[in-house]
Chains A and B, each alone.
Chain A
Amino acid sequence: MNNRKPPALATWMLDHLRSRESNEALSGDLLEAFRTGRSAGWYWYQVIAAIAIAWGRNVWHHRVTLFFAVVWSVFSPAWLLLPVRFSLDSLVGDTSHIPWPWSFICAIVFGAVIAMLFIWLGVAVYSTFHLLARGNLSLRSVRKGFLWGLVAYGLAQACKLAISIHYPQPPSHAEHWGSLTVLGVIENFGPWSTLLRFPYFIGTATTLWFLESRDMPEQVRAA
């Protein structure tokens, strides 16, 4: 056995992209095998396979959550239409009279509050049928779910914004969307409506993922 070092990036990925519990034995095994003559290519293959397997198991464990998040995000365009229908956006969301940068901050906060209300309404629906029934909600997991859900929603919204800047929405589409009924926007599965749903799906899925991680069986969490 020699003392050569495995690729640092691969080791970092193994340590950070999998949960820590069962990582110790696996990373020790990979290091031992590498030092007995395995190549750097073999090490990379093992790390990527281990991460993919762990994430695959995690996704499978949260399949109900992810399915619910997909279904719930389908309704998000209708939720966005509600402030327009009830003229709430002109009362609270109109920031044209506020000087920069407060107008920008107000617009972001207004958008985030609307999004969080939608996401947590989804959490309430899901919890009623799933989490509460199994007695798995704790204040800590709720706090963690709220924070990570907000961060994930913000990142997804930034991605959506970047895509919208690169591929601007045709003006006719925006006018068409504004004239649709609540049922009309729910039934609309065009590329722009799908993009609109994306941050809501990410936010809902992340929030529920963190709420649920408390009740994961040890074997799955260890993966």
Chain B
Amino acid sequence: MLLLVVIRLGEEAYGVPVARELEQYRGRIVSVGSVYAALERLEAKGLITSSLGDPTPERGGKAKRYFRITKAGLRQVHDTRRVLTRLWRTIPDFKLEFHLEER
């Protein structure tokens, strides 16, 4: 999900917009600290890279940390999508309807 958000935001993928997008899609408050922790884990795995922007006065002279997807990250997103699609196809429609009714 985080990788998709980073791809979607493109050049503007830094802490605030990433957390805002996640909040929008998940419908609850997201901790910016946990977003950074997850992004740093992805960076350690080589799926994204980060770079510091210029400090701005609106942010109290603090720089933004921009995140970009790597080739390995893109490959990972495609692989995950393929696996999920294949898995979805194996689940018959009546089972999904049954679980929805139960809710």
Task: Enumerate chain A interface residues (CB-CB to B < 8 A).
Answer: 1, 22, 24-33, 35, 42, 45-46, 49-54, 57, 217, 219, 222-223
Additional 7 contacts, C-beta under 8 A, given A25-B64, A26-B36, A219-B44 = A26-B32, A27-B60, A32-B58, A45-B29, A46-B31, A50-B33, A223-B36
Which residues of chain B (5-31) have a CB below 8 Å from chain A?
14-16, 19, 29, 31
Of B15, B37, B59, which is within 8 A of A53 by CB? B37
What are 13 A-B contacts with C-beta separation under 8 Å? A22-B36, A24-B62, A25-B52, A26-B36, A28-B60, A28-B64, A29-B19, A31-B59, A32-B59, A46-B31, A51-B33, A52-B33, A219-B40
B34 on the A face (CB < 8 A): yes
In the docked arrangement, what's the CA distance between A29 and B44, Å?
21
Residues in chain A near residue B29, CB distance under 8 A: 42, 45
Given contacts A31-B59, A46-B32, A50-B33, contact A22 B52 (CB under 8 A): no
Which residue in chain A gives the minimum CB-CB distance to B58?
A1
In the docked arrangement, what's the CA distance between A30 and B55, Å?
14
B63 on the A face (CB < 8 A): yes
* CB-based contact B33/A54 at 8 Å: yes
* CB-based contact B32/A50 at 8 Å: yes
* CB-based contact B40/A29 at 8 Å: no
Given contacts A46-B32, A46-B33, contact A29 B43 (CB under 8 A): no
User: Main SS of the interface on chain A?
Assistant: helix
Given contacts A29-B14, A33-B16, A54-B33, contact A22 B58 (CB under 8 A): no
B65 on the A face (CB < 8 A): yes
In the docked arrangement, what's the CA distance between A223 and B36, Å?
8
* CB-based contact A57/B14 at 8 Å: no
* CB-based contact A49/B63 at 8 Å: no
In the docked arrangement, what's the CA distance between A29 and B34, Å?
13
Chain B nearest CB, measured from A48 CB (Å): 9
Chain A nearest CB, measured from B27 CB (Å): 16
* CB-based contact B63/A29 at 8 Å: no
Given contacts A33-B16, A45-B31, A46-B31, contact A24 B40 (CB under 8 A): no
Which residues of chain B (49-99) have a CB below 8 Å from chain A?
52, 55-56, 58-60, 62-65
* CB-based contact B33/A25 at 8 Å: no
Which residue in chain B gives the minimum CB-CB distance to A2?
B58
Residues in chain B near residue A223, CB distance under 8 A: 36-37, 40
Residues in chain A near residue B64, CB distance under 8 A: 25, 28-29
